[in-house]
Chains A and B, each alone.
Chain A
Amino acid sequence: MYLTREEERILAGEEGEAKAKALEVIVKVGEAVGAERLIPIKHAHVSGASYMTIGDAGLRFLSRLAEIGARFSVPTTVNPVSYDVEDPSALPMVRLSPRVVKAQSEILRALEAMGAELILTCTPYYTEVPRRVGLREGDSVAWGESSAVAYANSVLGIHTNREGGPLALMAGIAGRTYFYGAHDPEWRKPRVAYRLETPKVLDETEAGVLGEVIAAQHRDEHPPLLDAPLGGEAALKEFSAAVGSAGSLAMVHITGVTPGDPGGAVEEVVTMDYGDLARRMEELAPGFEPDILYVGCPHASIEELRRLYRALSNAGERAGRRTVVSVSRSLYLQALREGLVERLRGLGVRFVRDSCLIVSPFSSSARGVGVATNSYKAYFYLSRKGVKVGLAPIEALPKLVS
């Protein structure tokens, strides 16, 4: 791999042991995938921050890095953790053990010592961070959260590979990543297109299920091209989350959404029928009365909160009291200013910030609980933990509660 003189200096340890190690990881991985050089990144987003997912091994890894003086070289944000840091009791049906709180606090301390900004969210793109960092179309970042990776490439035109937790961390410390995959304009040109014949614009739940269908079919190394009407912000978020959880796609070039030209390299067109999608929707529909209505996987958008308020206002009060929303701290503040938080809380809605039902202890303690959600990704992970999950868009959720 070609390295600049500055990169060679860093590798030689002139900017400290930790930065040298971090760059060494990036170089080794880059060499293994055949990258020829490194590129600077403007921002890193670290996944694997919840004690429930990384455990003691992850805790020790992060503490040790902080001890040897690791510091982020670029602005760095962090994925959700085990509980709402300001209101640990916000999680439904969870009694937090002191051991989890202690370990989670140590993880947060290590990340903070390294200079991370503790905005604990899987939707860094809904926070003030991109504006503050000055992220623009075509910029390279290193994000470790799969749903955010697909959203960055497909919706924002910001370039990132699916780094995985430790690699995004190393890239943040080194301030660089290897030039490969999504950073390479050639890779971003789709060769296989998917066209959905549909009589209607897809809501966020249908968009998620479409993500599952495409992730299951697509085999080409380049991203797929998609012609389908995805209706609104939540549909784009849920679609991105689905292709990153049901599959491992880092990008889908969505006609009319993804910035830039798809490149004219399409060799194959697959036509899909709305009927296939509708059948899968039926399989995933809730066939039970849910104990919890869940919105906010990935962390909710303002559009979702507004729609949820309208839907709950027209429903009985039991629906509101069973509703849980997970949001980023930044978006919560925005919703607070708009009066949305007060209005939703007035209907009995519970807010969980910094965390969610998947990376908190909820997912392991809620075996047998019935959850209805608008999120395919939440379905994917919660159902694998033994939680009963059904899918429906926001407008249909309150009607499931009698």
Chain B
Amino acid sequence: MEVLRFRSRPIVGGEAEGPAVVIGSLSFYGEVDPETGATSSGKSLAGKVAVIRRSRGSTVGSYVIYALKENGVAPLAILMEKAEPIVIAGCVLAGIPLYDGLPPEFFERVRDGDRLRVYSDGLVEILGPRKP
């Protein structure tokens, strides 16, 4: 498969490479277990490049993002359509790379387990589908 490339806006810089976990909409508070990194829909953010199109919910979400890092179960990076203050605050404090402004095509293309590479200038690559 050819490598697909997308542009994004770096908010918290940092490079990352790993398998994708894809979520349409997420409230970090209430829907993510800060001890394990598991979401209430049964996915895991730990060690993944988290593709979260939109976030919502309580401002306590910043604290949850920070706790994920402290507990060693944070995502490698978070990629969004639009990042809101709750997520930005959590990612800056936790030092989790955060990129937003990804186009709708990216969210339509990317699947759970796809190998993603994120560069600090905002370039995002889908390197290929999940390995069997």
Contacts and interface: CB of A to CB of B under 8 A. Distances in A.
A55 B89 contact: no
Contact of B85 (A21, A64, A167): A167
Nearest to B9: A32
B62 A165 contact: yes
B12 A166 contact: no
Classify the secondary structure of A's interface with B.
helix
Contact of B63 (A21, A33, A61): A61
B60 A58 contact: yes
Task: State which size class the interface on B falls in.
Answer: 20 to 34
A60 B70 CA distance: 9
B60 A170 contact: no
A31 B10 CA distance: 11
Contact of A29 (B60, B70, B89): B89
Interface in B100-129: 100
Interface stretch (A46-54, A205-213, A283-291, A382-390): A46-54
A164 B86 CA distance: 8
B74 interface: no
Interface residues of A, number: 25
A64 B70 contact: yes
Contacts of A170: 89
B12 A28 contact: yes
B100 A166 contact: no
A48 B70 contact: no
Interface string B79-99: 000011110111011000000
Given A32-B83, A48-B59, A61 B88 contact: no
A56 interface: yes
B63 A32 contact: no
A297 B70 CA distance: 35
Interface string A93-122: 000000000000000000000000000000
Contact of B88 (A21, A25, A53, A144): A25
B11 A28 contact: yes
B67 A57 contact: yes
7 contacts: A28-B92, A29-B85, A47-B59, A54-B60, A55-B60, A60-B66, A167-B85
Given A25-B88, A165-B63, 4 more contacts: A48-B59, A53-B58, A164-B59, A167-B85
